[in-house]
Structure 1
Amino acid sequence: MNDKLRSKIIIIALAPIIFILNIITKSYPEFIEKYYSTGLDRPIRQGLSIITGVFPFSAAEFLIITLVIILVISFIVLFIKIVKGGFIKQLINILAFASSLYIIFMIFWGFNYNRISFDKIANLKIEKSSKEDLYKLCESLIARANTLRSKVYENPKGVMTIQGGYKDVFKREASGYEAASKIYPELGGKYGPPKRILLSEKMSYTGITGIYMPYTGEPNVNINVTDYMLPATAAHEMAHQRGFAREDEANYIAYVTCSMHPDNDFQYSGVMLAVIYSMNALADNDMESYKHLAKTYSEGVRRDLVYDSEYWQKYKGKTEKITNQVNNTYLKSNGQKDGVQSYGRMVDLLLAEYKKK
C-alpha cells in the first residue's frame, strides 16, 4: 500500500470516529461550550471570516459550485470505471473526498450543534405556556411593530423600504451585535461582513434566504427578499457565524440583535420576525384570537405582510418542496427538534423573554 492510498484510508476511517464523537458530545454541552464553541472553534471561525471578508464577493458561493462540479465529475468517472476497471480506486477517492469535507465541517463548526442552548446563556426559563401567554406576547409584539412601522421609509406603493439597499444593511448590521455582545459576550468578536449571493433570485426558488458556510466563515444572504426582512435575515446568518448552529436559536438571536440595533429599520425587521413566528403559533392554537389580533395591525404592517406573501408566491413549486425535505432531514440529523415545549423553540424563547421582563 503506497502512502497516498494509506492517507486516504486513514481519512475514510476518521469520518465514522468523528461521527461517533459527535453523538457522544451531545451529552456534554458544557464541555463543548467551554472547549470548542468559545475555545477551539472561535478563533477558527473568526480567522476564516476575516480572511474571506477581504473579498467583495462570496467565496462560499464559488466553493459550493466547485464542489458540486467535482462530485458530479467524480461519479461520472466512477461509472466509467465500472466498465473499464479501477472502480475500487475511484470509490476510495470519492469516499476520501466526502470524508474530508465532513471532518473539516465538524472541526470548523459542526460540533456547535452540541453546545449549551441559548436559553441557558441568556438565563431564560423555557416552560410550557398558556394560550393567554401567547396572546399577550403577540399583542405586545404587534404594538411594538406598529410603533416602529411609523418610523421607517416606505416606497410609493406604501411598502417598507431600505433606501440604501442591501449594501447599506450589511454595513450597519454589526451594530446590533456590538450592542448585544455587552449583555451576551458569546455574540461578540471580530468577524467579516455578510455577503450577497450572486444567484439570489435562483436561490429564491428553493425557499432558502441565506446560508452560512463553515468552510469560509461567511454568512451568505439571499438579497432577493423583501426589505423589511433583510436585516433579520442577515442577522440570522451572522448568528451561525458566531457559532450558534440551531435554526430556532439563530432566529431568536436575529430578533435580539435587531431589537438592540440603534436604527429603527433594523428594530422593525427583528420585531416583525418575532411577530410572524408568534402569530403563526397563535393561528395553530387559537384561530379566533389570531383573527382578532390580526385586525390590530397598522395599515403599514398589513401592507408589508401582504406584499411579502404575494412576493413569495411566484417562487413556490417543486424545487422548494424538495429543498425543504432535504433541509429538514439535515436539521433532524443534527438533533434539531422544533419546539421542545409547545409552540416551537423560537416562540418559547420569546415567551420566556416576555415573562422575564
Structure 2
Amino acid sequence: LLAIVRRSGFVRLLFSLLRFVTVIVVWFYFSWGVAYFRDDFHTRATVEDVPYDSVQFKDFATRFVEQANRAYDGRTGVYSAGMDKEGVRQEIESVYQRLQGPLRVAYPNGKRRVKPMMFQSLYSKTGVSGYFGPFFNEIHVNDYSLDFTYPFTLAHEMAHQFGVGPESEANLYAFVTCASSGDPRVRYSAYASTLGYVLNDAYRFLPDEYESIYHSVRPEILEDLKRNREHWLAARDEALSSAQDKMYDAYLKTNKVSSGQENYSEVVALLVSSYDLFSPFFR
C-alpha cells in the first residue's frame, strides 16, 4: 500500500512537472518564439538571396573595409569621456524608428530600457555579451563588454525585441541601425563588431586576396578587435563556455536555425545581398 501511495505521489509530481513545462513552452512560443517561424529576411524585404562569387564578395569586402576605416576616423576622441549608455539607447531607438519601413519592423509604442544582467560574472565566463528575455520582453546587456561593442550588442538585442529571431538577421539589423546613426560611437560599433565576420569569410573565400584585405584595415581597428578578443578570453571559463555553446546551439537548431551557433556569422551573406539596399541610409 505504501508503495502504491508513493507511486501515485510520484505520478502526480510528474504530471505537475509536465504541466509546468507545457505552460512554459506555450508561453515562450506565443509571447515571442513564433518569431522563428516568420518569413526570412529576404522574403520580408523582397531582397534576392544571391550566392556571392569571389568577384562580388571582394568588391563588398573592399567597400566594407573602406567604410570601417572612415568610421574609425569619425570616432576619434569620442570615447574619452566614457560611454553614455542611455544616450546610445535613445539614439538606437530613434534610428530603428526612422528605418522601420526599410527594415520591415513594426515599431512598438513604449520605452524599451536595458535591464541589468543577473549573474553577470557567470555570463561573462561563458562569453555572453547580452541576451533577450522573451517571457517579459526584456533586453539585458553585459556591462563587462568594452564600450565600442556596446551599441551593436544593444541594437542586436533590440532586433530580437522587435520580433527578429535568427541571430544572423539580428546582426544585420544591428549593423544597419548602427551604421545609419549620426553618432560616431554607434557607427564605429557597427563596423568594428561586424568586421571579424567579414575577414573570416575573406579568409575562406578569397585566400589569395586575404592578406591585402586584412592589411587594408586600419591597425587601430585591428588592435580594437584583438583587445576585445583578449578581454573576453580573460574572463572565459572553458567548461562553462563549452556547455553554454552546446545548449544554445541545440536551442537554435530546435527553432528552425539549422546552422546553430554558426548562424551569427551568416550575417555576411545577408550584408552582401542587401548592402546596396541599405547603404543610402549609412552616414
Considering the TM-score relative to the shorter chain, is it more than 0.5? Answer: yes
2:132 is the alignment partner of 1:132: no
SS in 2 for 1:211: strand
Q: Which residue of 2 aligns with 1:326?
A: 247
- Tell me: CA distance 1:110–1:82, structure 2 relative to 1, closer, same or farther (3 Å): farther
Correspondence list, 1:247-262, <5 A: 247-262=167-182
Correspondence list, 1:141-152, <5 A: 141-152=64-75
Cα deviation digits, residues 169-200 of structure 1 (max 9, x gap):
33433122122114335252224222231432
Q: Percent identity?
A: 24
Contact 1:161 1:227 in 2 (8 A): no
How big is the shift at 1:164?
3.0
2:19 is the alignment partner of 1:108: no
- Tell me: CA distance 1:85–1:299, structure 2 relative to 1, closer, same or farther (3 Å): same
| Correspondent of 1:181 among 100, 106, 127 | 100
Q: Which residue of 2 aligns with 1:13?
A: none
Correspondence list, 1:42-57, <5 A: none
Q: Which residue of 2 aligns with 1:166?
A: 85
Q: Which amino acid aligns with 2:109?
A: K
How big is the shift at 1:201?
3.0
How big is the shift at 1:162?
6.9
SS in 2 for 1:354: helix
- Tell me: CA distance 1:154–1:287, structure 2 relative to 1, closer, same or farther (3 Å): farther
Q: Which amino acid aligns with 1:219?
A: I
Q: Which residue of 2 aligns with 1:274?
A: 194
Contact 2:97 2:107 in 1 (8 A): yes
Q: Which runs of 5+ in 1 are unaligned?
A: 1-80
Q: Which amino acid aligns with 1:146?
A: N
Contact 2:125 2:240 in 1 (8 A): yes
Number of residue pairs the alignment of both structures matches: 270
- Tell me: CA distance 1:88–1:195, structure 2 relative to 1, closer, same or farther (3 Å): same
Q: TM-score, normalised by structure 2?
A: 0.86
How big is the shift at 1:258?
0.9
Contact 1:338 1:345 in 2 (8 A): no
How big is the shift at 1:165?
4.3
Q: Which runs of 5+ in 2 are unaligned?
A: none
SS in 2 for 1:151: helix
Contact 1:108 1:215 in 2 (8 A): yes
Q: Which structure is larger by alpha-carbon Rg, 1 or 2?
A: 1
Distance 2:216 2:40 in 1: 34
Q: Which residue of 2 aligns with 1:89?
A: 12
SS in 1 for 2:132: strand
Distance 1:264 1:305 in 2: 18
Q: TM-score, normalised by structure 1?
A: 0.69
Q: Which residue of 1 aligns with 2:153?
A: 233
How big is the shift at 1:154?
4.8
Correspondence list, 1:1-16, <5 A: none
For the aligned residue pairs, the C-alpha RMSD in angstroms reads 2.5
Mean alpha-carbon deviation: is it higher for 223-232 or for 163-172?
163-172
Cα deviation digits, residues 5-36 of structure 1 (max 9, x gap):
xxxxxxxxxxxxxxxxxxxxxxxxxxxxxxxx
2:109 is the alignment partner of 1:190: yes
| Correspondent of 1:244 among 135, 152, 164 | 164
How big is the shift at 1:241?
0.5
Q: Which residue of 2 aligns with 1:16?
A: none
Contact 1:212 1:219 in 2 (8 A): yes
Correspondence list, 1:296-311, <5 A: 296-311=216-231
